[in-house]
Structure 1
Amino acid sequence: MAETKTKYNSKKIELDGHVFDSKAEARYYEELKLQQEQSKILFFRLQPRYELQESFKKCGKLHRKIEYVADFEIHHLDGSIETIDVKGFETTDFAIKRKLFEKKFPHKLTLLAFSQIDGGWIELDELKKARRLRKKTKAALKAEMSFN
């Protein structure tokens, strides 16, 4: 596994001839390979592309299309399709792409993160809630300690 840094300070990982943007993404790839071997999913694709808005011309200027490149696309046994993105946090750019994706595509978009504290793979929205709760609890304990 070769490693290089990305713009979000994660380390790029090369595994099975594929380059992943983070260790978490490479870990999820290994999880999907196992699920496919165990016939828990039909198959999965790496870095599927979704056109969110086509290119257009306005006032003589060409505006490029807007694409979203996800981490994985899973084809489940029941025929459903799920798009997976492994994230540490959600950028403002991604929040916009997420809304555009949700409007245009019928299949489920799941944002996952790996959290040791929370028991492994967890949806990003759930992780944010858990982190807020931990922060609130810590602040309450700190306030209680300073009260005594």
Structure 2
Amino acid sequence: MYRSKYHSKKVTIDGETFDSIKEYRRWCELKLLEKAGKIICLDRQVKFILVPAQYETFPRYSEKTGKRLKDGKRCVEKEVAYYADFVYQDAETGRRTVEDTKGMRTEKYIIKRKLMLYLHNIKIQEV
């Protein structure tokens, strides 16, 4: 079993890996709510792009003939993404909820939370 620097234990159950036991327990609660018809469209680890990858083009030439080829493209900065623990909709209102099971609020997480609100107008519900 893997232990992070914040002492959470990864847990794998039925082929699904969760970052912590707390996250697994919340998943079980949400599955029950879905089964009872209270929520719909329950999903895990939903990716939200916060900053897209940055690319640059560069000239390319044939090694044999020296002729100019189509420009190449290389990544100079990887994308920044936030992975929501859970995303679901209220069955009655249709309101979408983005949820994160938190133990420790790191600086990195706080910045991503703020970017989610600013860029996507999504306020993350912390459990």
What's the counterpart of residue 113 of structure 2?
98
What's the counterpart of residue 82 of structure 2?
68
Q: Which has the larger radius of gyration?
A: 2
What's the counterpart of residue 65 of structure 2?
none
Number of residue pairs the alignment of both structures matches: 109
User: How far 1:7 sits from its partner (Å)?
Assistant: 3.3
What's the counterpart of residue 146 of structure 1?
none
TM-score (norm 1): 0.67
1:85 equivalent to 2:100? Answer: yes
SS of 2:116 mapped into structure 1: helix
The answer for unaligned runs of 5 or more in structure 2 is: 59-74
What's the counterpart of residue 9 of structure 2?
11
The answer for unaligned runs of 5 or more in structure 1 is: 113-148
SS of 1:71 mapped into structure 2: strand
User: How far 1:56 sits from its partner (Å)?
Assistant: 1.7
In the alignment, the residues of structure 1 paired with residue 41 and residue 55 of structure 2 have an alpha-carbon distance, to the nearest angstrom, of 38
User: How far 1:89 sits from its partner (Å)?
Assistant: 1.8
Matched AA of 2:21: K
Runs of 4+ in 1 over 3 A off after TM superposition: none
Q: 2:40–2:89: 8 Å Cα contact kept in structure 1?
A: yes
Q: CA RMSD in A?
A: 1.7
What's the counterpart of residue 48 of structure 1?
46
User: How far 1:16 sits from its partner (Å)?
Assistant: 2.7
Q: 1:80–1:107: 8 Å Cα contact kept in structure 2?
A: no
In the alignment, the residues of structure 1 paired with residue 87 and residue 123 of structure 2 have an alpha-carbon distance, to the nearest angstrom, of 10
- Percent identity between matched residues is 32
In the alignment, the residues of structure 2 paired with residue 17 and residue 40 of structure 1 have an alpha-carbon distance, to the nearest angstrom, of 26
Question: Per the alignment, do residues 107 and 81 of structure 1 end up closer, same or farther by CA in structure 2, a change over 3 Å counting?
Answer: farther
Matched AA of 2:11: I
SS of 2:10 mapped into structure 1: strand
Matched AA of 1:7: K
SS of 1:5 mapped into structure 2: coil
2:18 paired residue among 17, 20, 25 = 20
TM-score (norm 2): 0.78
User: How far 1:29 sits from its partner (Å)?
Assistant: 0.3
Q: 1:81–1:108: 8 Å Cα contact kept in structure 2?
A: no
